[in-house]
Amino acid sequence: MKILVISLAGIGDTLFATPLIHELRANFPEATIDVLVMWRGSKSLLENNPHLNTVHQKNLMAESKAGALKFLAGLRRAGYDASLNTFPQSRRHYRIVAKFINAPVRISHGYECSGALDRWLVNKTLPQNYSRHAVENNLALLSPLGANPELPAHRYEIYLTESEQSWAADFVAQQKLSGRPLLGIHVGSGGTKNLALRRWPLESYAELARRLRQNRPELGVLFFGGPEEKAGHEKIRALAGVENLFFPESENLRQTAALIGKCDAFLSVDTALMHVAAAMNVRGQIVIETPTWNKPIEPYANPFTLVKNPAVAGRNLEFYRYDGGQIKGTRGELLRCMSSVTVDEVHATIGRVLAKSI
């Protein structure tokens, strides 16, 4: 049997698929199990996963039409028996990919934007469920294959190497952070659609950093991110006007994951690194509520503290649903929404969480 897991959405969404991948291997130990992802970061997180045969990665949005078709034709020739579009992949494009690859069994969730065409593109659909986590939505995809969960528990799965763990340990030692409490921060928010508007303001992060350095000088504050966060980090450094903030530069997302695992607490909005922190079992996980926040994308199997957003006020699904669209609201409305979370509240939450996690 040859199974293709299609996970073309965000990097964090790929972590949602890892318990399903493990269950596929438990149910079909002799099968060829491959995965198709969009982003290099997604591929990085799946490296060394013992339950996979091959990780195929291609940014189909950046590829020419001819190049994309050539790549997908190769997957079509591989002769997969089943493909599974993992949750949440609401855009029709993802189901078009499944149809082009053309496994006889093509499984997906049905979304609010789905119609008769989608039911032709994939031939087995399950209803999405906003009341359960994306991991559990994904595990439901086993049923059309005649399989059931076999494992006693599920977690995100990242398989780091000794060298990646050593890189993180060396960073902590070289920066003289050993023995100090560590707070990781990710200021990013995703770059597709209008998801960048769910970022907590950089000015707020800078003020938070200034207060932390003044009130908790023993605390190591590490700002994580890739090239897309570099300009934001420079702005925070300039606005905070304090020394001893750390901006680690890793070679890849796996080294980043290893270093996040050294942190006592981790602060972010709902981004890929939020899920990486959960995968690394960070004890004090803190999430600032955004308009995109909902049950399916909570950190899975890891306790967390939510800093409530007064402007969201329980209207999360009015702002954002898995219908292929953007966050609802104008740019100004969404910026004001995220500004409504105060530095005072985030600072106080960090204090409470560190008191429990150190």
Q: End-to-end CA distance of the chain: give it in Å, rounded.
A: 48
**Which pLDDT belongs to residue 92?**
93
Structure tokens at 134: 């994306």
* Per-residue pLDDT tens over the stretch 244-282: 999 999 999 999 999 999 999 999 999 999 999 999 999
* Per-residue pLDDT tens over the stretch 174-232: 999 999 999 999 998 777 788 999 999 999 999 999 999 999 999 999 999 998 899 99
CATH class of 2-145: alpha beta
Cβ neighbours of 243 (radius 10 Å): 7
* Residue keyed to tokens 């059931």: 148
Note whether 151 and 23 are within 8 A (CB): yes
**Which pLDDT belongs to residue 357?**
83
Structure tokens at 5: 């897991």
Query: Alpha helices, DSSP H only, in 36-103?
Result: 40-46, 65-77, 92-101
Nearest CA to 340 out of 308, 317, 300, 305 is that of 308
* Alpha carbon distance 66, 5 (integer Å): 23
358 has a pLDDT exceeding 90: no
Structure tokens at 355: 């008191």
* Per-residue pLDDT tens over the stretch 94-105: 999 999 999 999
**Which pLDDT belongs to residue 78?**
97
**Which pLDDT belongs to residue 246?**
97
The CATH number of 164-357 is: 3.40.50.2000
Q: Residue 74 half-sphere exposure, CB side, CA atoms within 13 Å? A: 9
- Local structure of residue 252 (DSSP, 8 states): S
Cβ neighbours of 251 (radius 10 Å): 10
* Alpha carbon distance 293, 287 (integer Å): 10
Q: Matching CATH topology for 2-145 and 164-357?
A: yes
Domain extents in the chain? 2-145, 164-357
* Per-residue pLDDT tens over the stretch 294-325: 999 999 999 999 999 999 999 999 999 999 89
**Which pLDDT belongs to residue 46?**
98
Nearest CA to 349 out of 249, 266, 271 is that of 266
Cα angle, residue 18 at apex, residues 12 and 21 outer, rounded to 5° = 145
Structure tokens at 197: 């508007």
* Residue keyed to tokens 């189901």: 95
Any idea which of 3-17, 123-137, 186-200, 301-315 has the lowest mean pLDDT?
Answer: 186-200
Grouping H, G, I as helix, E, B as strand and the rest as coil, residue 164 is helix
Sign of CA dihedral 93, 95, 97, 99: negative
* Alpha carbon distance 295, 278 (integer Å): 15
Query: At residue 240, what is the residue type?
Result: A
Tell the burial category of 126 from Cβ atoms under 10 Å away from its Cβ (0-12, 13-18, 19+).
middle
* Alpha carbon distance 25, 28 (integer Å): 5
pTM of the predicted protein model: 0.95
* Alpha carbon distance 189, 286 (integer Å): 15
Strands 304-307 and 182-186: unpaired
* Per-residue pLDDT tens over the stretch 150-172: 999 999 999 999 999 999 999 99
State mean pLDDT over 18-36. Answer: 98
- Local structure of residue 11 (DSSP, 8 states): H
Cβ neighbours of 245 (radius 10 Å): 19
